[in-house]
Amino acid sequence: MAGHVRGGGQGGQAGGRREARGERPCAYGLQCLTVSVNRYSSTQLHGAVFEGIDPRSPTPLYEQIAARVRVAVAAGELGPGDALPSVRALARELRINPATVVQAYRDLAIDGFVEIRHGHGTFVQDVPGFVRDEERTAQAEKLVRKLLQDAARLGISAEEIADVFAAETGVSIRE
């Protein structure tokens, strides 16, 4: 895809230099800048999805990557047809071996979250609603388990957590 952005100024002053930078004369004496957008060239669109991948975690990197994609699909951040970053681009950004990204993408393909089109990229599948709901429930369970583990380490009881939860949300979780 390409678009044009208009800028001020008169055309022709820098001649070929502007053409080399992608600028070209536009109507009304303005300069137009041609901007190319390639959705497969960068992980910037998906930066938040892959933010916080931790190489020191006991969870393997490929599992962390796959889990992040599953969560993004379940939350609606990634929709059907969205392209994931290329294996090389994601590996470069995360500074990991490309084979790790390949393993994550294969696991996601096996689970039906993505489709790998060789030579074209990896794309999010249309995941049924019940699968997204199951993934959201699984993530909620993980969050609660981690909260309870962290609270136990700090000596905070489940009752104290329930009180704080009720105060923050207005929803009681007591029996």
Ranges of residues in the chain with a pLDDT under 70 are 1-47, 175
Query: What is the pLDDT, as a whole number, of residue 129?
Result: 84
Give every CB contact of residue 16 below 8 A, 6+ residues apart in sequence: none
Rg from Cα positions in the chain: 23
Q: Which two tokens stand for residue 107?
A: 């696991």
Q: How far is CA 93 from CA 86, 98, 173, in A?
A: 11, 11, 41
How buried is residue 58: exposed, middle or buried, by Cβ count under 10 Å (0-12/13-18/19+)? exposed
Give every CB contact of residue 75 below 8 A, 6+ residues apart in sequence: 136
Query: What is the pLDDT, as a whole number, of residue 47?
Result: 65
Q: Which two tokens stand for residue 13?
A: 């002053």
Residues 35/5, Cβ–Cβ less than 8 Å: yes
pTM: 0.61
